[in-house]
Structure 1
Amino acid sequence: MPRLVARPATAADYEHFARLFVELGTGNPVLPRDRWEGALARDTLFFERDGEVVAYAYVQPLRGVGYVRHIVVAPSHRGRGVGGDVMRAVAAHLRGRGCTRWCLNVKPDNTAAVRLYRSLGMEHAYVLTTFQLAWDAVARLPRPFHRVAARPAQPSDDAALEAAFAMPSGQIAEARGRGGLVLLCLVDPAAPDAAPLGFASFDPFLPGAFPFRVAAPELAAPLLDAIRPHTPRAPEALLVTVEDDDTLVALLRDAGATVQLVGAHFRGEIPDVG
């Protein structure tokens, strides 16, 4: 079988991205060309066989951890080992960028992908749930008894936020560097040196928040209140992705949020594929 060839994305690859992105099945809209070129293309690899683009991978090399955001194989080339070849190429790419660990999200019922990721040393870490949350449902969420405040997350906040919410080091800086996102930090104004109470990376295009992390479920409402003014239009709902927080998942369900997607977070050491 002809060899799979990996190459960096170019601006001319946007149509390939748009065609393949929908195969992820997330329900999210395809990014416009300018946003893709500015935010994703630099960290995207395309894979060709006999000159035909058959797959792509969007990966974020962070500080020692590679976050594999998209792995997509064209439907006509599935079942031929392309996914394994792509993942091994991604492993080599991330090792070359100084990463020793990697992580990704996958639909739990994608058994072929789960089997592949396990074969590469990844293990299931937690569940994440993406909700469609109507703004009127926010009014039904509980509120904290003490005052909290939201403000833009500054680079000086990153280490504390990533430590408080077990996020990969460098994830917030990477989001800031892509542009177009609103990064918010929730704090206790009476205790400015205390650990942060919440964090959201909000994409007005979707509109949606991921990551969306709070130290306690009742802090979700004030963080959502802080997001709302940054929505450029008046949608009836926004997307909120909750990671590894069963209590908050139950709270949002009870408030009337609907589940759009359930995923499994896998992570592990990057194998030596050389």
Structure 2
Amino acid sequence: MSRLVARPAVPADYEHFARLFVELDTGNPVLPRDRWESAMARDTLFLEARGELDARGEVVAYAYVQPLRGVGYVRHVVVAPSHRGRGVGGAVMQAIAAHLRGRGCTRWCLNVKPDNTAAVRLYRSVGMEHAYTMTTFHLAWDAVARLPRPSRPVVARPARPSDDAALEAAFALLPGQVAEARGRGGLVLLCLVDPTAPDAPPLGFANFDAFLPGAFPFRVAAPGLAAPLLDAIRPHAPREPGALLVTVEDDDALVSALRGVGAAVQLVGAHFRGGIPRDG
């Protein structure tokens, strides 16, 4: 009889990650080994099915989580197809909850495809509820020119640590979310501001990953501010492909604007959040 054991990732787990990541079916490429080791491995848990006397067993699931300030952002939950329907998903969530409680988190959140009924049922069973909808667009660079433009002056610049609190307040980002992204390295963090009002709240924020290439979070105070923020991203983007992914969260007006210039929907997700259950 096997038992499920959760353990932290080690560098040799990259092959397990690469094998299981594709089960998310997001359309995103698998991170190369060096990027996984530097940016993800430290916050990844693997679940093994072990025999009673086994020191190691078969890797049947993994979870990638980001412990922020009081909130854990659960980025990936993947169970191997061969072990679905056996309660492994529940064991993964228990392991995540224990890990996050140990990091001082009392709440957690994640994103899930709304039609993944088994996953939605699992997340509701641990106290999470739907908060908002998010849409990932495949946006061609030439479509950016067709977006509306702001009438006021705006400037995009690198987001500094001193901007973090204002960005979190202006765009309902999680506490510590911007700092966590900065700490991972390899990402471009941009802040959109009004140069004539330096003390005013920021007008936009983007976290751009050139590997995808894609921006998430991508937040603007109004749809007309998306174009200058995208303009600022473009110098950091690879020359090919001639498009990027833009994830819009809880912003129907921006969704409408991107649809209006022909952006294609790659993925629709539901954001769930709730309190982490107490141990036992």
The TM-score normalised by the length of structure 1 is: 0.99
State how far apart, in whole Å, the 1-side matches of 2:33 and 2:174 are: 28
Amino acid at match of 1:20: L
State how far apart, in whole Å, the 2-side matches of 1:5 and 1:202 are: 35
Give the match for residue 11 of structure 2: 11
Q: Does 1:234 align with 2:240?
A: yes
Equivalent positions of 1:125-164 (< 5 A) are 125-164=131-170
Unpaired runs of at least 5, structure 2? 51-56
Matched residues, number: 274
Runs of 4+ in 1 over 6 A off after TM superposition: none
State how far apart, in whole Å, the 2-side matches of 1:10 and 1:92 are: 19
Unpaired runs of at least 5, structure 1? none
State how far apart, in whole Å, the 2-side matches of 1:60 and 1:211 are: 15
Equivalent positions of 1:208-223 (< 5 A) are 208-223=214-229
How far residue 233 of structure 1 moved from its aligned partner, in angstroms, is: 2.7
Give the match for residue 166 of structure 1: 172
How far does the alpha carbon of each residue in 1:19-65 deviate from its partner, in whole angstroms, 9 at most, with x for none?
Answer: 00000000000000000000000000001002000000000000000
How far residue 165 of structure 1 moved from its aligned partner, in angstroms, is: 0.4
State how far apart, in whole Å, the 1-side matches of 2:155 and 2:119 are: 41
Q: What's the RMSD between the two structures over aligned residues?
A: 0.7
How far does the alpha carbon of each residue in 1:45-96 deviate from its partner, in whole angstroms, 9 at most, with x for none?
Answer: 0010020000000000000000000000000000001001100110111001
State how far apart, in whole Å, the 2-side matches of 1:233 and 1:35 are: 21
Equivalent positions of 1:71-82 (< 5 A) are 71-82=77-88
Give the match for residue 270 of structure 2: 264
The residue matched to 2:3 in structure 1 has which SS?
Answer: coil
How far residue 273 of structure 1 moved from its aligned partner, in angstroms, is: 3.2
Give % identity: 84
- Alignment partner for residue 116 of structure 1, among 119, 122, 129? 122
How far residue 236 of structure 1 moved from its aligned partner, in angstroms, is: 1.3
The TM-score normalised by the length of structure 2 is: 0.97
How far residue 203 of structure 1 moved from its aligned partner, in angstroms, is: 0.1
Q: Does 1:225 align with 2:224?
A: no
How far residue 151 of structure 1 moved from its aligned partner, in angstroms, is: 0.1
Give the match for residue 54 of structure 2: none
